[in-house]
């Protein structure tokens, strides 16, 4: 199924102090603080289960919050790895471990 989601960033924390954070990242986070963002999410079948479609959901969230189209790669057969490539060429890989 597919749902419309409204997400609000409720807080920003700088454990090492705001000065230690990347200035562009800190600025983006603070600009989004307490502002609702709406985007689509969906769930897909995986065998007998229903799981979040992390590829689609991540693409939608990035487009809504950052205003850019990122290339996202995720496979339901290897759900713990998700790779995001931004238009700038920056690559972010998220790995879920225990």
- The per-residue pLDDT for 83 is 97
State the virtual CA torsion across 3, 56, 97, 9 in degrees, nearest 10.
-60
CA 4/CA 41 separation, integer angstroms: 6
- Residue pLDDT, tens place only, 18-60: 889 999 888 988 999 999 999 999 999 999 999 999 999 999 9
Residues in CB range of 66: below 8 A, 6 or more apart:
28
Mean pLDDT, the chain, integer: 93
Pairing of strands 78-85, 71-75: antiparallel
∠ CA 87-93-98 to the nearest 5 degrees? 160
**Full-model pTM:** 0.83
- The per-residue pLDDT for 1 is 84
Q: Chain centroid to CA 96: how far?
A: 14
């Amino acid at each position: 199924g597919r749902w419309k989601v409204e997400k609000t960033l409720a807080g920003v924390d700088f454990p090492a102090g705001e000065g230690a954070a990347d200035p562009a990242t800190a600025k983006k986070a603070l600009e989004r603080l307490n502002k609702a963002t709406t985007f689509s999410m969906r769930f897909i079948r995986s065998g007998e289960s229903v799981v979040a479609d992390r590829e689609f959901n991540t693409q939608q969230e990035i487009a809504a919050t950052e205003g850019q189209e990122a290339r996202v790669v995720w496979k339901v057969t290897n759900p713990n790895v998700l790779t995001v490539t931004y238009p700038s060429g920056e690559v972010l890989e998220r790995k879920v471990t225990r």
